Amino acid sequence: MEEKRANKHLRRERELRGWSQRRLAELVDTTEQVVNRWESGHHKPNRYFQTQLCQLFGKSAEELGFMDVSQTMEEGAVVEMAGGLTELWADDLLAIYVRGITACQDLYFSGSPHQVQAILPLYCDQTALLARQPSPLQQAAAQLTSQAQQLACELLTDREDFGAAGQAGRQALLYAQLAGDVNLQVASLIGLANLGFHRKLSTAALRTYEHAISLLNEHVTPLLKGRTYAGIAEVYAMRGQLQEAMRAMGLAYEHYPLRPEDDPAYPYLRASRYSLYVFGDAQSRLFLGQPKEAGKALIAMQQETNDPQIEPVTKLDLLYYQAETQIQQAELEASGAMLTEAATLAKDLGSRLYFNKLAVSYHNLHVRWPQEPLVMALEEVFQPW
């Protein structure tokens, strides 16, 4: 049996800072028992925690005892190719990753999330490998890793794999910080706040948006500012904070660019004017019990952007909000048709998140009008999936 070797390097760095195992566990969001297993050599941190620990201690994976000689040589060969042969390979290598991650983003929003789920982890791993090692490629690789992890966070949130989505979101933020890119940091926080919103953890979502707002400066793009204020508006509305929601909604309209597609952050944020009208306005109005105002925001959105017609993910989102608006106005026939169309699309896209949100809407309809034939007919649509 192979003898387990204690990780003296990790333990020494912890003890030099006067931290207990419990304190280290808190700093990297794990348990004291896990830290003990790392230090005793019974378990090695996975790549996510290795990255966290390296950043926390300001040390390399080798210096913290995470890699043996063979691993060091193997990864060193990759770094030598990327760093020592930069003049020949750097542009081509990064260009491949840029095209691959952009293709994943396009596939996701065009309605092919299953393909993205299969290939995105490869790009996350490859860019992270370069981003972890000092080289001329490090900053650019860290930026790409952050973008890939942001997309992973959104995809996993849609699958309701919330634990993995949180890990991806935190990695996106970590690599954005490594890249020194405040725009990517804000975008990563928007993803994490959105995760909190969908989990109905309004306090966590609010604090995350507040963190994002604290980063807003002259270097942050108008689109990121507008999307941040639109997001915090709906969280305030979720919490019933009317004045705060209205103030944030006003800031969202003030900052949101007329042509989001021209904003430098658009390629990875993918937030058109749809996000302003639907998240910052319509959703907030629904939370505040103002369905007519929500309906007006949805009409304004449809007059300004055709995203829901070309992006199935956005179409699904719109159907959900249209159904909610009709339900609040007791329009049973219209809401039933929209719920049916949306539930079918959610299944096609594999979106458990939206199917379950739609199921809640159906349940609310059933509670209010249990004997209505239109409502009773929806029971078959919302069988457990």
DSSP-assigned letter for residue 3:
P
Architecture (CATH level 2) of domain 190-265: Alpha Horseshoe (1.25)
- Number of neighbouring beta carbons within 10 Å of residue 317: 22
State the Cα–Cα distance between residues 165 and 376, nearest whole angstrom: 35
Q: Where are the domains of the chain?
A: 1-57, 90-180, 190-265, 308-385
DSSP-assigned letter for residue 42:
S
* Burial of 93: CB neighbours in 10 Å, binned 0-12, 13-18, 19+: buried
What is the structure's pLDDT at 66? Answer: 83
Q: CB of 190 within 8 A of CB of 227?
A: yes
What is the structure's pLDDT at 303? Answer: 82
Burial 54-87 (b: 16+ CB within 10 A, else e): bebbebebbebbbbeeeeeeebeeebebbbeeee
Helix (H) or strand (E) holding 275: helix 273-275
State the Cα–Cα distance between residues 236 and 99, nearest whole angstrom: 37
Q: CB of 44 within 8 A of CB of 51?
A: no
Block mean pLDDT (10 aa), the chain, length 385 = 71 88 86 87 81 84 72 47 46 81 90 88 89 84 95 94 94 95 97 95 96 96 97 96 96 95 93 90 93 91 75 86 90 90 90 89 88 88 84
What are 325-359's pLDDT values in tens digits? Answer: 999 888 889 988 989 999 999 998 888 888 988 99
Burial 233-252 (b: 16+ CB within 10 A, else e): bbbbbbeebeebbeebbebb
What is the structure's pLDDT at 91? Answer: 56
What is the structure's pLDDT at 120? Answer: 92
What are 235-284's pLDDT values in tens digits? Answer: 999 999 999 999 999 999 999 999 999 999 999 999 988 889 998 999 99
Query: Which pair of tokens denotes residue 136?
Result: 């001329």
Which CB contacts under 8 angstroms, 24+ apart, belong to 249-252? 249/280, 249/281, 249/284, 252/226, 252/227, 252/276, 252/280, 252/281
Nearest to 51, CA basis, from 155, 170, 189: 170
* Burial of 354: CB neighbours in 10 Å, binned 0-12, 13-18, 19+: buried
Nearest to 336, CA basis, from 368, 311, 384, 302: 368
Q: CB of 147 within 8 A of CB of 101?
A: yes
- Write the DSSP string, 206-264: HHHHHHHHHH-STTS-HHHHHHHHHHHHHHHHHTT-HHHHHHHHHHHHHHS-S-GGGST
DSSP-assigned letter for residue 31:
-
User: CA-CA-CA-CA torsion for 382, 117, 208, 361, nearest 10 degrees?
Assistant: -10
What is the structure's pLDDT at 110? Answer: 85
State the Cα–Cα distance between residues 303 and 216, nearest whole angstrom: 30
Distances (CA, A) of 76 to 33, 43, 51, 132, 287: 31, 23, 16, 11, 53
Question: Position of tokens 């309701």?
Answer: 160
What is the structure's pLDDT at 10? Answer: 92
Distances (CA, A) of 193 to 12, 153, 256, 348: 35, 11, 19, 26
What is the structure's pLDDT at 288? Answer: 93
Classify domain 1-57 at the CATH class level: mainly alpha
What is the structure's pLDDT at 68? Answer: 56
Nearest to 124, CA basis, from 65, 167, 68: 167
